[in-house]
């Protein structure tokens, strides 16, 4: 309460807490009275309490998310991707994953070449964009359903589950028909209708962190998906906006131990979009694993100068393979393991 709050104001706030189903606990100091409100934090509406006369600030102690919290579910969640026409890949707990492929799917032959490269290098899930979120309306926006078909065929022929981005609620049904895993991009992390729609499906969701989202905001977005009954959420750290201008985004490595403590959901890193430049990708990927992440999602292209999108950040196949070797070493330090594609069994 404000130092100048009257006894009536204090009494009024206490009564409101009772009315909302909570119990007030008063601590009177020399300068100030603090009222502890014990009860369900959803019922104890913070915004309402802040509005009452004499209230200086309301400090929530409980976390605003439930299903995503480690208090609700103590053990690490292991998410299954694939099954059916392709083997199942596990993410979470001791299972580390490498999702790789081109930024955008440009055509069938190029996808085939890159798919084989990433499979050889050690990836077990094949990424690729059919619908691309682009900052400028004049940039290439993706090949849509045709690209999804090529993507499905490539995954099936190599025995790899696939992961594809969905940008619009109207595309969810279409993308669901083809993909094994939805990707929600950073700019859609708080597109709440989209989160609800993928939450209604039973396909796992790779949820990228928004560029201005705190870890708490991110877990609340995961909660949107989980609250619809879809428990297959994998978090993906991909960098936040900061003042630093020598790199595209600052990969927030600190979010990994923080999220690992707050949530049971798996978390991976995307070094490609953070770096924006291939030279920096390996260092960020290795740092992510060392900090405790459950793997990476990375862009690979054998001819980056001809890529229609984000060529400068794509790894060359040989660099990718070498990186995977280093990642396997670091995974042993943090008690995780990357599956070999040959070991995966079809379900």
Choose, by CB under 8 A, the member of 6, 15, 326, 347 that binds its own copies: 326
Residues 249-308 that bind its own copies (CB under 8 A): 250-258, 260-262, 274-275, 277, 279-280, 283-284, 286-292, 304-307
Judged by CB under 8 A, which stretch of 92-100, 155-163, 234-242, 338-346 contacts its own copies?
234-242
Residue linked to tokens 């999220």: 259
Q: How far apart are alpha carbons 15 and 69 in whole angstroms?
A: 31
Closest-CA residue to 276 (of 252, 296, 247)? 247
Q: Is 241 in the site for its own copies (CB under 8 A)?
A: yes
Burial of 73 (C-beta count, 10 Å sphere; 0-12/13-18/19+): middle
CA 89 to chain CA mean position, Å? 17
Query: Total number of residues binding its own copies (CB under 8 A)?
Result: 104
Q: Is 312 in the site for its own copies (CB under 8 A)?
A: yes
CA 283 to chain CA mean position, Å? 20
Q: Is 206 in the site for its own copies (CB under 8 A)?
A: no
Other Cβ atoms less than 10 A from the Cβ of 245: the count is 6
Q: Is 47 in the site for its own copies (CB under 8 A)?
A: yes
Q: Is 342 in the site for its own copies (CB under 8 A)?
A: no
Other Cβ atoms less than 10 A from the Cβ of 138: the count is 7
Q: Is 61 in the site for its own copies (CB under 8 A)?
A: yes
Q: Is 28 in the site for its own copies (CB under 8 A)?
A: yes
Residues 73-132 that bind its own copies (CB under 8 A): none
Nearer to its own copies (CB atom), residue 64 or residue 159 = 64
On whether the CB atoms of residues 225 and 194 are closer than 8 A, the answer is: no
Q: Is 138 in the site for its own copies (CB under 8 A)?
A: yes
Q: At what angle do helices 215-226 and 192-200 cross, to 10 degrees?
A: 40
Choose, by CB under 8 A, the member of 135, 342, 343, 345 that binds its own copies: 135
Judged by CB under 8 A, which stretch of 78-86, 89-97, 151-159, 193-201 contacts its own copies?
193-201
User: What's the N-to-C CA distance of the chain in angstroms?
Assistant: 59
Smallest gap, in angstroms, from Cβ of residue 168 to its own copies?
4
């Amino acid at each position: 309460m404000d130092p100048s709050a009257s006894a009536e104001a204090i009494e009024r706030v206490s009564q409101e807490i009772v009315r909302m189903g909570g119990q007030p606990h008063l601590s009177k100091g020399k300068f100030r009275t603090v009222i502890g409100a014990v009860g369900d934090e959803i019922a104890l509406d913070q915004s309402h309490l802040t509005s009452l006369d004499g209230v200086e600030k309301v400090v929530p102690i409980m976390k605003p998310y439930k299903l995503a919290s480690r208090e609700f579910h103590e053990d690490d969640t292991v998410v299954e991707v694939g099954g059916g026409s392709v083997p199942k890949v596990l993410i979470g707990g001791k299972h580390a994953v490498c999702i790789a492929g081109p930024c955008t799917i440009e055509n069938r032959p190029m996808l085939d070449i890159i798919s084989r490269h990433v499979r050889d290098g050690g990836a077990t899930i094949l990424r690729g964009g059919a619908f691309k979120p682009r900052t400028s309306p004049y940039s290439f926006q993706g090949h849509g359903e045709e690209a999804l078909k090529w993507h499905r065929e490539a995954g099936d022929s190599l025995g790899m589950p696939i992961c594809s981005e969905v940008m619009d609620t109207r595309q969810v049904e279409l993308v669901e028909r083809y993909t094994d895993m939805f990707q929600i991009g950073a700019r859609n992390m708080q597109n709440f209708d989209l989160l609800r729609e993928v939450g209604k499906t039973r396909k796992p969701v790779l949820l990228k962190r928004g560029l201005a989202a705190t870890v708490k905001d991110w877990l609340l977005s995961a909660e949107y998906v989980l609250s619809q009954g879809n428990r297959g959420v994998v978090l993906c750290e991909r960098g936040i906006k900061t003042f630093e201008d020598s790199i595209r985004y600052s990969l927030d490595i600190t979010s990994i131990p923080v999220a690992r403590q707050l949530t049971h959901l798996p978390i991976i890193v995307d070094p490609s979009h953070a770096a924006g430049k291939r030279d920096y990708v390996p260092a960020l990927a290795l740092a992510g694993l060392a900090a405790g992440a459950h793997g990476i999602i990375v862009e690979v292209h054998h001819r980056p100068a001809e890529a229609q999108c984000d060529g400068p950040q794509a790894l060359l196949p040989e660099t990718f393979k070498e990186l995977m070797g280093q990642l396997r070493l670091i995974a042993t330090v943090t008690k995780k393991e990357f599956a070999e594609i040959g070991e995966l069994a079809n379900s």
